[in-house]
């Protein structure tokens, strides 16, 4: 049989959609702050042709060699720059959330340039050229979260390559989606109230500007600390979403992820809950523990944790060593858009399909009245 015949071969498999899927639960993992610091030092010791090479992926032991995520659809990279180093321009078709965990510097992208300091967060839109520079006197250490793991599993992760695209981020200045002169019936309703769209509109959808944003940690912290006053009676989590208006009703920092900043006063214990979306926490102050799928996990400042594999029952608690501050990355917006975000805020109540059904309420209005 020749290669063409082999490539077109297929088979039939039993497919009763009413039978439960046996989803494989990824075990939660805690990557200690010391391991992260040691790996950052190793990266800084490397002799590299370009400092953009001082990066590694933090990979879950259950990840396949294709996705290489810390969660199935979430890539996490650790990056390091020496003082004075500057990376070459880089872009791909994944969206990113960046987080500075050490040092300072400057990021240039989409015609903008802004500084970053420890615990600042920013987003990088897809296919946007980004350049990082260490403008400080100490090492710059960053975490980057992207949906590249999912794109690799779909075999469509595309990285800028002049040999393929014929352009570079600096030279690609051609206009895109220029309107034509002819009037086309491109979107219209049929008599049965269903809709049709022309090919011309299909390949030239209305463009929505995707902008970079930066959230200054000190500004966010000032708002977070006000939530401490809610006290033990509050039935909710003390957090704010770093919201990107581009994402609209899907409540994201990027179209795939939300990034939230949380404060946990000492000795606060969350209610057990679960959701389809996966969550990765970076704790940068305080200490505590998590219960995930019936197992206990301790963590402290500097640790990175896959804290909520999809649909695993979990809750988190702070200890008495001062408040906990954490960044959480979760692929909730992706699931809202897909209509797949089952969420069970209380195990005593049935799950809801958030984004399609009305969601949950807290008692915050009562406490602040």
Residue 285's nearest CA partner among 314, 264, 271 is 264
pLDDT value for 6:
61
Cite the beta strand spans of 286-360 per DSSP E. Answer: 287-292, 295-300, 304-308, 314-318, 324-330, 342-344, 352-353
CATH pick for 214-346 out of 2.60.120.10, 1.10.357.140, 1.10.760.10, 3.40.50.2300: 2.60.120.10
Between CA 140 and CA 103 the distance in angstroms is 4
Between CA 260 and CA 244 the distance in angstroms is 12
Average pLDDT over residues 159-164: 70
Per-residue pLDDT band at 321 (split at 50, 70, 90): confident
Please tell me the pTM assigned to this model: 0.92
pLDDT value for 14:
87
pLDDT value for 1:
46
Average pLDDT over residues 33-49: 97
pLDDT, tens digit (0-9, with 9 covering 90-100), for 324-369: 999 999 999 999 999 999 999 999 999 999 999 999 999 999 988 7
Task: Please identify which residue in the block is written with the tokens 């990979």.
Answer: 59
pLDDT, tens digit (0-9, with 9 covering 90-100), for 101-135: 999 999 999 899 999 999 999 999 999 999 999 99
CATH pick for 29-153 out of 3.30.1380.20, 2.60.120.10, 3.40.50.450, 1.10.10.10: 2.60.120.10
Two tokens, residue 342 = 């089952």
Whether residue 58 is predicted with pLDDT greater than 50 in this model: the reply is yes
**Which secondary-structure segment (H or E) carries 162?**
helix 162-165
CATH 2.60.120.10 in the chain: give the residue spans.
29-153, 214-346
In whole numbers, what is the pLDDT of the chain averaged over residues?
92
pLDDT value for 144:
98
Task: List b or e across 74-102, with b for residues whose CB sees 16 or more CB atoms inside 10 angstroms.
Answer: bbbbbbbbeeebbbeebbbebbbbbbbbb
Residue 307's nearest CA partner among 22, 23, 24, 27 is 27
pLDDT, tens digit (0-9, with 9 covering 90-100), for 168-221: 555 444 455 555 556 788 999 999 999 999 999 999 999 999 999 999 999 999
């Amino acid at each position: 049989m020749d290669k063409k015949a082999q490539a077109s071969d297929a088979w039939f498999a039993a497919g009763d959609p009413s039978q439960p899927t046996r989803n494989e639960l990824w075990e939660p993992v805690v990557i200690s702050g010391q391991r992260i610091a040691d790996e950052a030092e190793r990266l800084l010791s490397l002799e590299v042709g370009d400092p953009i090479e001082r990066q590694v992926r933090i990979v879950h032991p259950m990840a396949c060699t294709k996705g290489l995520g810390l969660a199935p659809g979430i890539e996490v990279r650790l990056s390091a720059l020496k003082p004075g180093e500057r990376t070459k321009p880089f872009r791909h078709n994944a969206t990113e959330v960046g987080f500075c965990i050490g040092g300072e510097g400057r990021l240039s992208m989409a015609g903008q340039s802004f500084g970053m300091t420890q615990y600042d967060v920013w987003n990088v839109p897809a296919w946007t050229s980004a350049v990082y520079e260490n403008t400080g006197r100490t090492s710059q250490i960053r975490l980057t979260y992207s949906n590249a793991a999912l794109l690799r599993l779909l075999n469509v992760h595309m990285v800028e390559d002049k040999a393929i695209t014929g352009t570079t981020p600096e030279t690609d200045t051609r206009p895109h989606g220029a309107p034509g002169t002819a009037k086309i019936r491109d979107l219209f309703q049929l008599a049965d109230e269903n809709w049709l769209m022309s090919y011309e509109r299909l390949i030239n959808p209305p463009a929505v500007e995707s902008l970079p944003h930066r959230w200054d940690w000190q500004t966010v912290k000032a708002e977070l600390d006000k939530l401490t006053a809610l006290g033990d009676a509050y039935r909710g989590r003390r957090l704010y979403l770093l919201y990107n208006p581009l994402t609209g009703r899907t409540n994201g920092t990027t179209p795939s992820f939300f990034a939230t900043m949380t404060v946990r006063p000492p000795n606060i214990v969350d209610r057990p809950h679960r959701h389809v979306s996966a969550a990765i926490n970076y704790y940068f102050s305080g200490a505590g523990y998590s219960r995930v799928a019936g197992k206990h996990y301790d963590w402290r400042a500097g640790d990175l944790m896959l804290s909520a594999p999809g649909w695993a029952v979990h809750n988190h608690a702070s200890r008495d060593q001062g408040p906990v501050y954490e960044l959480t990355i979760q692929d909730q917006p992706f699931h809202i858009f897909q209509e797949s975000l089952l969420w069970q805020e209380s195990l005593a109540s049935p799950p809801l399909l958030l984004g399609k059904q009305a969601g949950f309420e807290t008692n915050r209005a009562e406490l602040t009245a």
